[in-house]
Structure 1
Amino acid sequence: MTVSAVAQTEGQKIIIDVTSTDLKVYQSVMLSAKLISSGNPKTKLEVIVYGEALPMLMKDQSNVAGEIAKYMNNDNVVFTACELSMNLLQVDKNQLLSGVGTVENAVVEIVNKQALDWGYIKAGN
């Protein structure tokens, strides 16, 4: 079996790193999530949001909340906020969209996943 065939059969593991404050970047991330997950439903995708991009995952500020909600029943697509950033920006977990997970430190999470062969996409403009 070729590497390409294995990737299609088993799915890939991909991180999308989001730190931008640009609302258009959030829309682009959601388009990427749609294309990646529909291209191979077995692909595992984690959108990791930190720094001043946290509004992407916040109830009262997200311009993509409806699109994120569509993935809440998909175990292969996860949206994650950085607790370190949340603390620095005084954001409580109850301000996050329903179903959004958290990690203690986004950068450490990204590095650890890359060590486990997760692909990496930096969202931005």
Structure 2
Amino acid sequence: MLRTLAACAALTLMSGTAMTDAARAEGVSHKIAIHVDDSDMRVMNMALNNAENARSYFASIGDTVELELVAYGPGLQMFVKDQSPVAARIAAMSLEFEEIQFSACGNTIKNMAKKLGHEPVLIEEAEVVPSGVARLVELQEDGYSYIRP
């Protein structure tokens, strides 16, 4: 009886390994949402590092990845032209990686416009979404893994 149980356990483990190897051979598509709500340059760079590291790793095993960085509140500074400490890095990433999107919170933009008297000008890579929080919820509902640096 113990031998039968051990054999079943071994077959289960081997079939799981075979499934994992088969999935890797075919390539898997991953979806990642990265949340930025802090104006600290270290946090912004960590978010971009997370995106680059995930992309690099998944590419090394034959997988693809879709990434979306969503910024709101103080984190919107990441996408404000002439204020973003990471604008050049975002521009380079968007040129070399087609499956990355930079989403700017429309609610934050409206609040900034009230304070400034005009809407802030965003870097060209940023796309405005109505709500950063709602966008993160939609992405998670669509199967995106949520990352917060």
Instruction: Pick the TM interval, shorter chain.
Output: 0.7 to 0.9
- Range that drifts further, 50-59 or 68-77: 68-77
Which of residues 117, 120, 123 is equivalent to 2:146?
A: 120
TM-score of the pair, normalised by structure 1: 0.86
Gaps of at least 5 residues in structure 1 are none
User: How far 1:3 sits from its partner (Å)?
Assistant: 8.6
Aligned: 1:60 with 2:87: no
Higher relative contact order (CA 8 A, sep 6+): 1
Q: How many residues align?
A: 122
Kindly indicate which of the two structures has a greater share of residues assigned to helix.
2
User: What aligned pairs does 1:55-94 form with structure 2 within 5 A after superposition?
Assistant: 55-73=77-95, 74-90=97-113, 92=119
- Evaluate the alpha carbon distance shift between residue 55 and residue 5 of structure 1 in structure 2; reply closer, same or farther with a 3 A threshold: same
Regions of 4+ moved over 6 Å: none
Question: Are the equivalent residues in 1 in contact too, given 2:112–2:119 (CA < 8 A)?
Answer: no
Q: Partners of 2:101 and 2:35 in 1: how far apart? A: 12
Gaps of 5+ in 2: 1-18
- The secondary structure found in structure 2 opposite 1:112 is helix
After superposition, the C-alpha distances for 1:41-72 in whole angstroms (9 at most, x for unaligned) are: 42000000001111111111111111100122
Verify the 8 A CA contact 2:106 2:128 in the aligned structure 1.
Answer: yes
Q: Quick one: distance in 2 between partners of 1:114 and 1:108?
A: 10
Rounded to whole Å, the distance in 1 between the matches of 2:21 and 2:70 is 27
Question: One-letter code of the match for 1:22?
Answer: D
- How high is the sequence identity, in percent, across the aligned residues? 29
SS at structure 2 position matched to 1:40? helix
Match for 1:66: what amino acid? A
Aligned to 1:18: 36
The two structures have a TM-score, normalised by structure 2, of 0.73
What is the CA distance between 1:88 and its match in structure 2? 0.7
